[in-house]
Amino acid sequence: MSMDSELDELRREVERLRGILPERVDVDPDDVEQGLAKLVLTLVEFVRQLLERQAVRRMEGGTLTDDEVERMGLALMRLEEKVHELSRAFGVDPAELNLRLGPLGKLV
């Protein structure tokens, strides 16, 4: 691909993004707090899901004792409850706390 065709492709992509993005962003203090809470809760939920998957792999691999399985399950359950509790407190739907991974789809 030549340099001119790469530049043309880049220009087209910038124009496409210009059409998608709003020209102006209105900042409302209430929305900022909720948006930040949603971001943080989404990241916590992402880490929780990764820990849960790792725990399942370890459990299936037989590297955890029954006591460790019990404690880990309880800890993950409490973390999930706390994420849902905080979501409600900030007016965020817990179902929205899932990362969209582009062509790969959602995390879960």
Is residue 37 within 8 Å of 92, Cβ to Cβ? yes
Q: Tens digit of pLDDT for each residue in 54-95?
A: 888 888 999 889 999 999 999 999 998 998 898 888 888 888
Up-side HSE of residue 104: CA atoms within 13 Å toward CB? 7
- C-alpha 107/C-alpha 42 separation (Å) is 11
Is residue 68 within 8 Å of 75, Cβ to Cβ? no
- C-alpha 54/C-alpha 76 separation (Å) is 11
pLDDT value, residue 16: 63
What's the pTM value of the predicted model, to 2 decimals?
A: 0.60
Q: Tens digit of pLDDT for each residue in 29-56?
A: 667 777 788 888 888 888 888 888 888 8
- Give me the amino acid identity at 3: M
Tokens 């725990």 correspond to 55
Tokens 């992402």 correspond to 46
The size of the chain, in residues, is 108
More confident residue, 19 or 79: 79
